[in-house]
Copies of this chain bind each other. A is one copy, B any other.
Amino acid sequence: MKIALAQINTTVGDFSGNGNLILDYLNRAKRAKAQMVVFPEMAVCGYPPEDLVLKNHFVENNIKTIAALAKKVHGICAVIGFVDTDSKGKIYNAAAIIEEGLIKKVYHKNELPNYGVFDEKRYFYPGDFDINSCLISAAGQKIGISICEDIWVDAGICTKQAKAGAKILINISSSPYEIGKLKARQELLSQRSKETNTTIVYCNLVGGQDELVFDGASMVVSAQGKILARAKQFEEELLVCDLEQSENPVAALLDDSQEVYKALVLATRDYVQKNGFSRVALGLSGGIDSALVAVIAVDALGAENVTAISMPSVFNVKATRQDARIIAKNLGIEFKEIPIKAIHNVYLKVLRKFFQGTSANIAEENIQARIRGNVLMAFSNKFGWLILTTGNKSEMAVGYCTLYGDMSGGFAPLKDIFKTRVYELVRWRNSQTSEPLIPKRVLLRAPTAELRPNQTDEESLGAYEQLDKVLDAYVQGHQSVSAIAKEPSQMQYVKKTVNLVDKNEYKRRQGPPGIKISERAFGRDWRLPITNKYKE
């Protein structure tokens, strides 16, 4: 049996676009002589549609789309994810099994994830488990159909399908990328295939949707737990696997930095383009964060679609100003330098009488960052460019960033990237060209916000190596201060850091969306109150 896994990049709410994409891949699968073609979870409406599914007309339009698609399915069996509804108006995360112009069966997902970024119990009813709804016969084989979470549950419906005689288990998923997630999926599928003695066909979504990026890497796993076929990570692909053949395409796995980098590039491209933008701009300071964002933008959109704006103040040293220019030149992107001193001076003049008798503090510093935000947004408003912000996860965690200043922009590619990983990614990206795109001294210079003379980040925050470990334990691990501070000498530092994370919730709440790459990002999987007096 030949089966095609249509690893497509859908767009939420784009019924006509998604419908056309599905038809295109369906026809490609037929041309490849596949007997079956499978599409990701909710391929018809895109994933996750969130509260759009609370609108009846949205669900109806999705039903019309699957009905129209069904009429066009001939000479192949297709499994397509959509949102189903019943006469009582209940809705279900569903898979349509379509043959010869007809929807033969509809399976309703049994296991609804309601943790992390997932809110499926907010929307969907679980399917009543009925073995007939999820067992089909195609090409002389008994095949079980399940949706994403279903296969992660021990002794769940996949096990029951195997007991009922299924030899092939098809699972359609929209499983978001996280570091280590592909490995976890492979282990799970390998275990599941062995315990059920079935071949597992796992089709995943690819592409960016707001803060999530789906990595694809669809695969077929043999009953012995071996990978028979695997699609590429972060790219659309029609993976055709002949289950009777031992030779099928198995895409090589990306290494760690490459994987994260590709996630950032794809998510940035999709956010920009799916939201109707073609060009972006960013503040390029000569520091390492904005340098990395510039390279990501160029890899995502092409150098011709990226404008770098350097906005030096009196505190920016010559070296960073030069580096900004060099990076832009290396990348071949448009570069503008707009010194902000004149603007800053007028603010200070206007505010002088109100601030009389106070000493200069964060107020005067932040005015500079907010002037930069205003200048960038003026370009955005004038030319229709989307602004990429350049802050990283370490900064967002402890609030080492200026709200309405450097946090101003439509999308934050590094929102879930700790500073130490920023360095890793830059080193990796530099290694991909004969001459490094980002000058070495950018990596060697002590990180600084340059909002006052001789400021350095690590003076305020501690060494990033140490900071990121504490943040990882606190944010990702939800660990307590006493668990994080392994020695009493660390207690004060850990307490101070954790306190910064807590009290900067209000800043994160107003930050731009950015790409989730870790188990717990500052997004839908981080729902902490702002008003919070908890102290351990």
- Beta-carbon contact of B51 and A527 below 8 Å: yes
Binds B, one of A93-101, A153-161, A239-247, A504-512: A504-512
Contact between A526 and B51, CB atoms less than 8 A apart: yes
Q: Is the CB of B410 within 8 A of A506?
A: yes
A52 interface contact, C-beta 8 A: yes
Among A17, A51, A364: residue with most chain B CB under 10 A? A51
Asked if A21 is at the interface (CB within 8 A of a chain B CB), the reply is no
Does A121 interact with chain B (Cβ within 8 Å)?
Answer: yes
- Are the CB atoms of A527 and B50 closer together than 8 Å? yes
Interface size class of A (residues with CB under 8 A): 35 or more
Does chain B have a CB within 8 A of A72?
no
Give which listed residue, B208, B343, B377, contacts A403 with CB less than 8 A.
B377
Q: Which residues of B contact A12 (CB under 8 A)?
A: 529, 531-534
Copies per assembly? 2
A382 within 8 A of B: yes
Chain B residues within an 8 Å CB radius of A55: 478, 480
| A interface residues, Cβ below 8 angstroms from B | 11-15, 17, 48-52, 54-58, 61, 114-115, 119, 121-122, 208-210, 270-271, 274-275, 336, 338, 340, 342-343, 346-347, 349-351, 354-355, 358, 361-364, 366-367, 370-371, 373-375, 377-379, 381-382, 403-404, 408, 410, 478, 480, 483, 506, 509-513, 524, 526-536
Interface pairs (8), CB distance under 8 Å:
A13-B533, A51-B528, A58-B534, A114-B114, A338-B351, A338-B354, A342-B350, A343-B350
Given contacts A12-B532, A510-B512, 20 further A-B contacts (CB under 8 A): A12-B531, A48-B529, A51-B526, A54-B478, A56-B480, A114-B122, A115-B122, A121-B121, A210-B529, A210-B531, A338-B350, A347-B374, A350-B375, A354-B379, A361-B381, A363-B382, A364-B378, A366-B378, A370-B377, A404-B404
